[in-house]
Amino acid sequence: MKSSRRNAIKGAAAALGAISAPSIGRSQAPGFTLVWADDSNSDVTYDPRVTQSRHEEQIIVQVFDQLIMSDEKGNLAPGLATAWEMAPNGLSLRLKLREGVRFHDGTAFNAEAVKYTFDSIVDPATGSQGAVDMIGPYERTEILGAHEVRVHYRAPNAGAIDSLTENEMSIVSPTAAQRLGNTGFAQAPVGTGPFRFVSWDRGREVVLERNPDYAWAPSWSTVQGPSNVHRIVHRFIPNNATRVAALEAGEVHAADILPALDTRRLNDSGKFRSMVGVAAGLSFGASLNTSKPPFNDIRVRQAFMYAIDRVRLAQNLYFGIINPAYGPLASTTPEYWNGAEQYYRFDRARAERLLEEAGWRMGPNGIRVKEGQPLRAYFPSLLLPDVAVALQAEARRVGFEIVVENVLKQRQDELLMTNQYEMAVVRWVSNDPGILRVPFHSSNIPEPGKFKFNWARVNDPALDGMIARAAAATTAAERSTLYRELQKDIMDRAIFLPIHDQVQTAVHSTRVAGLRFARGNWQIRFHEARPTA
């Protein structure tokens, strides 16, 4: 009786030991496995043609290549295309394609693959949410040879070359996309990149394994052949505290978007290195809905901007890691105009004066009132509610009530399409100042059935004209001038409240090195990573 009980206990202990999971130091696979902790758990698709999520792109950037590859500083290099030439009229782009490249499923990379990818991006059945905007006024792809194409545009597309460096314009395997269908391809993507997709354990992790045949890295890469990382385990750990703990305990090598205080603390400890990249593109800021009260009055918009002390806000929220922003473009974007920094410097008295002028008198409970209506703005917040709440506090001081509600994307999209909001935060990462078209061109005003990003709902042919002319500029000097004027005009209209830089704060253990920001300073590339120990 007693001995069988003892055996049972021994047996149970042995079973426990056998089933228990190895920590990252004891992975059974040969070679180095890099473990990354991602701050989200809401990935739906890894199809570059469909995605508009930076989380999904963190996988896409390892699995796919683009025709032209840009490093984090904006230096372009041949990728899947070895040479390119834009027609003088901006209506077509000729590309010579690299030979000897294969997709992870063995399909040869050629002109057909490029044509298939681009055609499918504009096909409504694909359901593209990001690429369809990146691709510009795409008309068709003409196949000139097995490794040569000419891409035709309906209108002059000065940003064509730059757009080809975007993750959303990665080239997909036509064989895999057709065999798996769009839903299947989204869950098992096939590209030409340094890592191939292995598995997706929903809610837990994605596993990638290196492409041993990878021999077409861009010239700016410090590793030209296959990666020194044999496997990548991309873990979903949405809880901030848990992600920090996992990094500190050594369960992951690197983690993204850690709270500012932890980023500082870990970096100062010497055992970790933080990578802080200012993403190019739009500043993190709020679009003010000009189509209805209270923001249809420019004085109210200006007052709102004068009332926000963004220097103090950035310092309080981010402990010196993130800087305040002053203009619509992020400071690292080409053609950034630093004149924007003179606009709307914090001045509460001036804000109050403007509100008085606009007829908003202080009411009994500290909120201004006009014709019986309170000065109130509804602010559905998808991201970073702490910023929204800080804005709310600042605005309250001048008698402005901001109603902040934390909503999920689906709900926010619905509110935006049906014009049921007064302000909303729009973010966009891009290396092209032409990105200003996205939040400010009248063709981008959202409606039911049409989800676009002009959330200020500004509809002015004069502004549209400036945006179009700047994008079509043919000389560098002309481009600079036109973009400076455009930024000034946007600031004069007071339609966008810049708050702070968009910053990616990734932290990694000093046991690994070679992690590098991808173009735009958002995703991290692992191709050049290696263990240091």
Partner 1 sequence: MQYFVTRILGVVPVLVFTWTLVFVVLQVIPGDPVNLMLAGVPASEEVRQRERERLGLDRPVAERYVGFLVRAVQGDLGESFRSRRPVGEMIAEQMWPTIELAVGGLLVGLLLGIVLGILAGIRPNSIVDSVCMALALVGVSLPSFWIGMLLIYVFGTVLMVVPITGRGLWALILPSITVGLFIAGGFARLVRASIIEAMGQDYIRTARAKGLPPVKVVLKHALRNAMIPPVTLLGIQFALLIGGAVVTENVFARPGLGTMLVDAVLTKDMPLVQALVVYKTAAYVFINVMIDIVYAIIDPRVRLERS
Which residues here bind partner 1, judged by CB under 8 A? 16, 19-21, 23, 41-42, 44, 52, 124, 127-129, 132, 183, 201-204, 235-239, 241-243, 245-246, 248-251, 408-411, 413-414, 417, 448-452
CB of 135 to partner 1, least distance (A): 12
Nearer to partner 1, 276 or 383 (CB): 383
- Print burial letters for 194-225: b (CB count within 10 Å at least 16), e (below 16): bbbbeebeeeebbbbbbbebbebbbeebebee
Q: Which amino acid is at 108?
A: A
Contact between 311 and 345 under an 8 Å Cβ cutoff? The reply is no
CA atoms within 13 A on the CB side of 117: 28
* CB-based burial label for 485 (10 Å; 0-12, 13-18, 19+): middle
CB of 72 to partner 1, least distance (A): 27
Nearer to partner 1, 136 or 433 (CB): 136
CB of 15 to partner 1, least distance (A): 9
Rounded CA-CA distance 255/278 in Å is 17
Q: Which amino acid is at 74?
A: G
Nearer to partner 1, 43 or 352 (CB): 43
Nearer to partner 1, 131 or 171 (CB): 131
CB of 103 to partner 1, least distance (A): 24
Nearer to partner 1, 19 or 349 (CB): 19
Nearer to partner 1, 245 or 389 (CB): 245
CA atoms within 13 A on the CB side of 526: 35
Per the structure block, which two tokens stand in for 38? Answer: 């991602």
CB of 393 to partner 1, least distance (A): 26
CB of 522 to partner 1, least distance (A): 18
CA atoms within 13 A on the CB side of 65: 30
Nearer to partner 1, 114 or 121 (CB): 121
CB of 377 to partner 1, least distance (A): 22
CB of 193 to partner 1, least distance (A): 24
Nearer to partner 1, 80 or 266 (CB): 266
**Interacting residues of 180 by C-beta distance below 8 A, sequence separation 6+:** 188
Contact between 258 and 244 under an 8 Å Cβ cutoff? The reply is yes
* CB-based burial label for 106 (10 Å; 0-12, 13-18, 19+): exposed
Contact between 149 and 95 under an 8 Å Cβ cutoff? The reply is yes
Nearer to partner 1, 204 or 292 (CB): 204
Positive or negative CA dihedral for 44, 49, 51, 57?
positive
Pairing between strand 496-500 and 284-288? Answer: antiparallel
Rounded CA-CA distance 43/50 in Å is 12
CB of 24 to partner 1, least distance (A): 9
Nearer to partner 1, 87 or 245 (CB): 245
CB of 116 to partner 1, least distance (A): 20
Nearer to partner 1, 261 or 408 (CB): 408
CB of 520 to partner 1, least distance (A): 20
CA atoms within 13 A on the CB side of 11: 6
Rounded CA-CA distance 425/138 in Å is 29
Rounded CA-CA distance 131/128 in Å is 6
End-to-end CA distance of the chain: 51
